[in-house]
Structure 1
């Protein structure tokens, strides 16, 4: 259990622009304490403890009110760490779990919804990722639950094969990491135009996040700006921003979360109205009070 990756920057600075309120960070993780929540035996990295309290301090420092915790691969389908954090956060956070929802009864689904869970994560970049043929079944199982599907692609070029299933999905679908695009693939990577088209048609949502995984440059990842702006131009009303705190397996220097929020402002060319749309209005639709009856803490705790 000895950590083999670095912790997050412990001194996040405020961003350089006035963050609209109540803003959401739609992609983050918490880890540990490892004595309570051990990692899966088969994993690709071992993080240090990065607890809820540290995450909430980061949100406060950058002026963001709400967060969404996404189940990291090091825990497999053991969601106890995430669920513990949701309960302790008093309604401030939502969660995306890894779980076999086809084997889940209604009582369990309702209990997780009451805890603040709003979706299930499907990582197609991992061995055993959900086969495309099962997307219909999972969507049908979640219909009416207030949950959505969150999909991690192995690469944006894999997206076209999923398009028929995504367009007929019974629940909202969120594509992570700008579709797992890479700047190194060139100015028009295969599958990226299809992602923009799906956004434009309202068929999916996408997280504009993980610039250090997309970029071929050091911070401040300026080479990501054209790609992000292409998605913003397609459909700002279908985009979500995520910090990816505490940045597990970040290549290169550990980013400062205030600087990552500044990068979002570059992606949207400083447009205040779009900032409010991406940081406040869009996430409220997916994670807000309508889903399963849970409420954010401005309206009362879950």
Structure 2
């Protein structure tokens, strides 16, 4: 089993974040003595409990976060529910559901602070969901007005663009759709622009370490990320993707990722939208006064 996350990788960023700043994409795993990993998990994550996430956010200056349930815990949402209770309003959650989930269970998750459901289209996470399963889940969460998170690569974004556009809910594209920076980005950017222009789609400007070809400090990701932020400043979000599971390169520094925000969103007003106003609107946080 992978080693637990330690404070060694948690550094203090050079940037001062605005009040109410939200890490809109992070995960937790464990603690494993209370929430053991299931046999049907798609990968084995490190132990990274809510207490470690809280320490990270306190050091970096995040007041809020959206915890995305991971397939490392299979369909067991107990770690997420425990974190939401511990956060006392600091967190919102995103679930990963099967079509066999009951409306009562969705209601219980909603009361606890879950506000979205995620669909993974990546092969190592099970591949694209069956259309019937996806429609069944969407029907279950529709009465609760949850958003729909889509985890897809740039190539599959083009394949599934019409499916995404047809979703009758607010949609969030994770990690800028993970484009291949070695390819012409025009087609991927055009589709994202079109989806953003619908008024119902948001994009997370996260995962720079997954997308970058140059490595830290990931400057090669900035032009693409900034183009999205400038095109639809009212519908972009940012997330750390902590604790950075399933990566093939060096472990990214969280403070370095935060510092990259100033390059993606160079003005105070754009950072305020990216980190505070947009997540408050989408996830239901109160917006602090300027």
After TM superposition, is the score higher than 0.5?
yes
SS at match of 2:111: helix
Aligned mate of 1:108, from 100, 105, 110: 105
Query: Does residue 147 of structure 1 match 2:146?
Result: yes
Query: Which runs of structure 2 are paired with 1:50-69 in the superposition (5 Å)?
Result: 50-69=48-67
Query: Which runs of structure 2 are paired with 1:246-257 in the superposition (5 Å)?
Result: 246-257=243-254
Name the CA distance, whole Å, in 2 between partners of 1:101 and 1:276: 37
In structure 2, the partner of 1:198 is: 195
Aligned mate of 2:279, from 280, 283, 290: 283
In structure 1, the partner of 2:45 is: 47
Name the CA distance, whole Å, in 2 between partners of 1:297 and 1:195: 27
Closer, same or farther: CA 193–134 of 1 in aligned 2, 3 Å: farther
SS at match of 1:255: coil
Deviations 1:217-240 (A, max 9, x none): 121011101110121122111111
In structure 1, the partner of 2:130 is: 131
Greater per-residue helix proportion: 2
CA RMSD of aligned residues (A): 2.3
Question: Offset at 1:11?
Answer: 5.0
In structure 2, the partner of 1:293 is: none
Query: Does residue 264 of structure 1 match 2:252?
Result: no
Closer, same or farther: CA 84–209 of 1 in aligned 2, 3 Å: same
How many residue pairs get aligned? The number is: 286
SS at match of 2:37: coil
In structure 2, the partner of 1:157 is: 155
Mapped contact 1:96–1:120 kept (Cα < 8 A)? yes
Name the CA distance, whole Å, in 2 between partners of 1:119 and 1:15: 29
Name the CA distance, whole Å, in 2 between partners of 1:40 and 1:189: 41
Closer, same or farther: CA 8–231 of 1 in aligned 2, 3 Å: farther
Q: TM-score, normalised by structure 1?
A: 0.86
In structure 1, the partner of 2:270 is: 274
User: Relative contact order: is structure 1 or structure 2 higher (C-alpha 8 Å, sep ≥ 6)?
Assistant: 1
Name the CA distance, whole Å, in 1 between partners of 2:223 and 2:281: 27
Name the CA distance, whole Å, in 1 between partners of 2:135 and 2:40: 29
Could you tell me which runs of 5 or more consecutive residues in structure 2 were left unpaired when the two chains were aligned: none
Could you tell me which runs of 5 or more consecutive residues in structure 1 were left unpaired when the two chains were aligned: 290-295
Name the CA distance, whole Å, in 1 between partners of 2:251 and 2:53: 15
Mapped contact 1:136–1:169 kept (Cα < 8 A)? no
Deviations 1:58-94 (A, max 9, x none): 1111111001111112112111111111112111111
Question: Offset at 1:194?
Answer: 0.4
Name the CA distance, whole Å, in 1 between partners of 2:218 and 2:45: 24
